[in-house]
Amino acid sequence: FQPKLLAGKRVLITAGPTYEAIDPVRGITNLSSGKMGYAVARAAREAGAEVTLVSGPTALETPHGVRRIDVQSAQQMLDAVMAGIHGQHVFIGVAAVADWRVENASEQKIKKDGSGTPQLQFAQNPDILATVAGTTSLNGWPYCVGFAAESENLIAYGAAKREKKGIPLLVGNIGHHTFGQDENSIVLFDDSGHTVLPQASKLQLARQLVSEIAKRLEQRSLL
Ligand code: C5P
């Protein structure tokens, strides 16, 4: 029996990698499989929430009962998130958003015509999570949750990242070899410190995360 901890709540989740075009047939992406974000979407839906999943390119099936919006680039992900953010109770940024996009992407396929190698110029992408977190200062909603994949000093970097992004809850991936795996272990950072959730399947961890989020929403509404 799964209690409907998020009944009546609307939850918006980003998942997967983003894809930044170099030309019409080439681009830059990363190793995110989308598994964790999709597991969180499934767990939130199981908990009774109305779930919207804004997804970069993945090979995964849409979890049952979840509304999915497909995007490619970080800018498209931001646009889809901002178009749907109104009225959401919770925003969970699980996507591995590219930090940079190619500023001088070519409209036509770049040819190997002997004129040298392409010179790519990069521009910084918007930070979707920080943008959403910035809008919460208006009325405190949605409750924002971020993820972090660090290759070292997770405890120190995780706590600092939570503060920098201005969010109440940040989930750190323990170890950076989680991409594409079915299991993970995570650490939750909030204003009272950090808590480790030991290794388990991404779905089990997603269910634990959803119940931790529900607990914090409950505490908020009691304040
Ligand atoms: O700063 P960093 O990329 O480590 O932060 C990771 C968190 O921020 C994740 O929750 C990710 O989904 C989110 N993020 C974002 N937009 C970006 C970069 C990261 O929403 N451009």
Q: Which domains does the chain have, with CATH numbers?
A: 10-99+120-222 (3.40.50.10300)
Q: What is the pLDDT of residue 89?
A: 96
Is it true that the peptide bond before 142 is cis, omega within 30 degrees of 0? Answer: yes
Long-range contacts of 175-180 (CB under 8 A, 24+ apart): 176/149, 176/150, 176/151, 178/36, 178/149, 179/30, 179/31, 179/32, 179/33, 179/96, 179/149, 180/31, 180/33, 180/35
Residue ranges of the chain with per-residue pLDDT less than 50:
none
This model of the complex carries an ipTM of 0.96
Residue bearing the CA closest to ligand 1, atom 6: 148
Is the Cβ atom of 95 under 6 angstroms away from ligand 1? yes
Is the Cβ atom of 128 under 6 angstroms away from ligand 1? yes
Which of the listed residues 128, 132, 135, 136 should we mutate to test ligand 1's pocket, taking the one with most ligand atoms within 8 A of CB? 128
Q: What is the pLDDT of residue 150?
A: 80
Ligand 1 atom nearest residue 164's Cα: 1
161 Cβ partners below 8 Å, 6+ apart?
Answer: 146, 148, 170, 189
pTM: 0.95
165-204: buried (b, 16+ CB within 10 Å) or exposed (e) per residue?
A: bebbbbbbbbeeebbeeeebebbbbbeeeeeebeeeebbe
Q: What is the pLDDT of residue 138?
A: 62
Q: What is the pLDDT of residue 114?
A: 81
Q: What is the pLDDT of residue 181?
A: 85
Candidates 56, 83, 37; CA nearest to 178 is 37
**Residue appearing with tokens 């924002």:** 144
Q: What is the pLDDT of residue 160?
A: 95
